[in-house]
Amino acid sequence: MRRKGVVLVVVIGVLIVVFTLALVAMYIMTQDARVAEHKIRRVRALFAARAGMIHALEQARTGNANYTCTAGTCGESINIGSGITGYPVGGIPVNIVFHGATTGPMNTHQVDINVNY
């Protein structure tokens, strides 16, 4: 009879150790997935900002800009990646702001690109 009790305790102990290892493995995989998703979103936002900058430069070059101006700054908001697989459904909103004062060399303006990811 004592032997069965010892075996039962050993089996329960092994099950507890295996269950604990499974929980730790799940926690580590979840954290790794969160870090990977954050990196993907950050890189996606970087390239969306670059696309927004190219869009702003092209609009300024061709003179086709439809910017709303208030208090010396002009800007627009565009969605980059709308309808592209891997991007959010509506795209990534990119805010482009041209500052009115000429702050750079040869009568240039400062341009800010903001992306929330």
The domain segmentation of the chain, as residue ranges, is 2-115
CA distance 80 to 77: 10
Per mean pLDDT, which range of 2-6, 9-13, 71-75, 109-113 is the poorest? 71-75
Higher pLDDT, 5 or 60: 5
Tens of pLDDT, residue by residue over 29-82, are: 999 999 999 999 899 889 889 988 888 888 777 877 667 677 667 778 888 888
Q: The pTM is what?
A: 0.66
CB 75: neighbour CB atoms within 10 A? 19
Tens of pLDDT, residue by residue over 8-19, are: 999 999 999 999
In a 10 Å sphere around its CB, with 0-12 CB exposed, 13-18 middle and 19+ buried, how is residue 66 labelled?
A: exposed
Contact between 114 and 45 under an 8 Å Cβ cutoff? The reply is no
Query: Which pLDDT belongs to residue 18?
Result: 98
Mean pLDDT (whole number) for 90-117: 77
